Amino acid sequence: MEFNSDIQSVLKGGYHCKLCDIHVPNKASLDDHLKGRKHQKLSSVRATRKAQAESSLFVTGFARETSQLQLIDYFQHFGSVAEVIIDKKKAVYAIVQFSEIEGMQSAFSHSQHVLDGQKLCVKPREKKEFRYIPKKKQDPRNLHQCVEHLSQELCQAASVNEQMHRVVESFQLSEAEKEVRNLLVELLQGVFTEFFPECCLQPFGSSVNTFDIHSCDLDLSLDLEKTKTFQARVKGSSDQAQECRSEDIQSEDSILSDIDLFTASTAEVLDLVAAVLRKCVPGVHKVQVLSSARLPVVKFSHRELGLQGDITINNRLAVRNTRLLQLYSRLDARLRPLVYCIRYWAKQKHLAGNPFGGGPLLNNYALTLLIIFFLQNLDPPVLPSVNQLKEMACEEEECVIEGWDCTFPSQPIAVHPSKNTENLCALLAGFFSFYDQFDFSGSVISLREGQPLPVTGFLSKTVGEEELMEQLGKAGDCSLKNIRLGPVNLLDPFELCHNVAGNLNERTQKGFRRECEEAAKYCRSLQYQRKSTKGKVWGLVRLFEPLGGGTQGLSRDTERELAISIPFKAAMLPDSVRSELLLARGLFRQLWFKKVCQAVVGVLQDVLKCSVAPSDKPVKARVRQEELEHGEGTDCAASAHIGPVNEDVKQDVSVTDCTLPAGENGLNVQEAKNSCACPSSLIKECSPQDTVLVGLKRPLCRDDTLVSPPNKKQMLDSATMQPLAHWHCLLWHRVWVGRRKVRHNLLKSLREASKPEVGGIELETCVTKSIAQENEEAQKLLEFSMEAELLGCTDDTQIILKFTPGEDHGGLFQDFFHFLESFLPKMTEKLLAKLK
Q: Give me the least distance between CB of 368 and ligand UTP, in Å please.
A: 6
Q: Give me the least distance between CB of 217 and ligand UTP, in Å please.
A: 4
180 or 742: whose CB is closer to ligand UTP?
180
Contacting ligand UTP (CB under 6 A), which of 154, 500, 570, 612? 500
- C-alpha dihedral, 187 to 190 to 196 to 202, nearest 10°: 60
346 or 604: whose CB is closer to ligand UTP?
346
The window from 193-201, 316-324, 382-390, 594-602 that contacts ligand UTP (CB under 6 A) reads 316-324
Helix axes 739-749, 761-774, angle to 10 degrees: 110
Q: Give me the least distance between CB of 435 and ligand UTP, in Å please.
A: 18
Does the footprint of ligand UTP cover residue 216 (CB under 6 A)?
Answer: yes
Strands 218-223 and 284-290: unpaired
321 or 605: whose CB is closer to ligand UTP?
321
Q: Does the CA dihedral 277-279-281-283 come out positive or negative?
A: positive
- C-alpha dihedral, 180 to 181 to 185 to 187, nearest 10°: 20
Asked if 392 and 414 touch (Cβ cutoff 8 Å), the reply is yes
364 or 441: whose CB is closer to ligand UTP?
364
205 or 679: whose CB is closer to ligand UTP?
205
CA distance 732 to 462: 45
Q: Give me the least distance between CB of 485 and ligand UTP, in Å please.
A: 15
Does the footprint of ligand UTP cover residue 219 (CB under 6 A)?
Answer: yes
Q: Give me the least distance between CB of 337 and ligand UTP, in Å please.
A: 16
The window from 98-106, 278-286, 358-366, 584-592 that contacts ligand UTP (CB under 6 A) reads 358-366
- Scored b (16 or more CB within 10 A) or e, 349-363 reads bebbbeeeeeeebbb
217 or 704: whose CB is closer to ligand UTP?
217
Helix H, strand E, coil C: the string for 771-801 is HHHHCCCCCCCEEEEEEEEEECCCCCCEEEE
Strands 490-491 and 443-446: parallel
CA distance 819 to 592: 24
Q: Give me the least distance between CB of 420 and ligand UTP, in Å please.
A: 24
Asked if 555 and 187 touch (Cβ cutoff 8 Å), the reply is no
Does the footprint of ligand UTP cover residue 211 (CB under 6 A)?
Answer: yes
Does the footprint of ligand UTP cover residue 322 (CB under 6 A)?
Answer: yes
CA distance 528 to 468: 42
DSSP three-state, residue 222: strand
Does the footprint of ligand UTP cover residue 217 (CB under 6 A)?
Answer: yes
The window from 4-12, 214-222, 626-634, 645-653 that contacts ligand UTP (CB under 6 A) reads 214-222
369 or 781: whose CB is closer to ligand UTP?
369
Does the footprint of ligand UTP cover residue 456 (CB under 6 A)?
Answer: no
Surface-to-core class of residue 139, CB atoms within 10 Å of its CB (0-12 exposed, 13-18 middle, 19+ buried): exposed
Contacting ligand UTP (CB under 6 A), which of 318, 370, 540, 573? 318
361 or 790: whose CB is closer to ligand UTP?
361
171 or 568: whose CB is closer to ligand UTP?
171
The residue nearest ligand UTP at its CB is: 205
CA distance 650 to 515: 41
Query: Which are the contacts of 778, defined by CB distance < 8 A and separation ≥ 6?
Result: 732, 733, 772
Output the furthest CA–CA distance in the chain (Å, rounded): 116
Q: Give me the least distance between CB of 143 and ligand UTP, in Å please.
A: 17
Does the footprint of ligand UTP cover residue 209 (CB under 6 A)?
Answer: yes
Q: State the CB neighbour count (10 A cutoff) for residue 741.
A: 10
Task: Give the single-character DSSP code of 544.
Answer: T
Contacting ligand UTP (CB under 6 A), which of 195, 196, 344, 365? 365
Contacting ligand UTP (CB under 6 A), which of 321, 433, 720, 722? 321
Number of residues that bind ligand UTP (CB under 6 A): 16
CA distance 61 to 113: 10
| Contact pattern from residue 82 through residue 121 relative to ligand UTP, giving x for each residue in contact according to CB under 6 A and a dash for the rest | ----------------------------------------
Asked if 518 and 551 touch (Cβ cutoff 8 Å), the reply is yes
Contacting ligand UTP (CB under 6 A), which of 163, 363, 708, 797? 363
Q: Give me the least distance between CB of 104 and ligand UTP, in Å please.
A: 46
The window from 71-79, 124-132, 212-220, 532-540 that contacts ligand UTP (CB under 6 A) reads 212-220
Which contacts (CB < 8 Å, 24+ apart) does range 735-738 have? 735/608, 735/609, 735/768, 735/771, 735/772, 735/816, 735/819, 736/815, 736/816, 736/818, 736/819, 736/823, 737/771, 738/771
66 or 503: whose CB is closer to ligand UTP?
503
Strands 118-124 and 56-60: antiparallel
CA atoms within 13 A on the CB side of 92: 2
The window from 113-121, 314-322, 455-463, 633-641 that contacts ligand UTP (CB under 6 A) reads 314-322
Contacting ligand UTP (CB under 6 A), which of 205, 384, 457, 487? 205
Q: Give me the least distance between CB of 338 and ligand UTP, in Å please.
A: 14
Q: Give me the least distance between CB of 369 and ligand UTP, in Å please.
A: 9
Contacting ligand UTP (CB under 6 A), which of 55, 56, 206, 798? 206
| Residues linked to residue 731 through DSSP beta bridges, in sequence order | 782
Asked if 800 and 560 touch (Cβ cutoff 8 Å), the reply is no
CA distance 388 to 415: 9
CA distance 600 to 605: 9
The window from 152-160, 201-209, 592-600, 712-720 that contacts ligand UTP (CB under 6 A) reads 201-209
Give the DSSP H or E segment for 432.
Answer: helix 424-436
445 or 645: whose CB is closer to ligand UTP?
445
The window from 315-323, 651-659, 715-723, 791-799 that contacts ligand UTP (CB under 6 A) reads 315-323
For ligand UTP, the binding residues (CB under 6 A) are 204-206, 209, 211, 216-217, 219, 317-318, 321-322, 363-365, 500
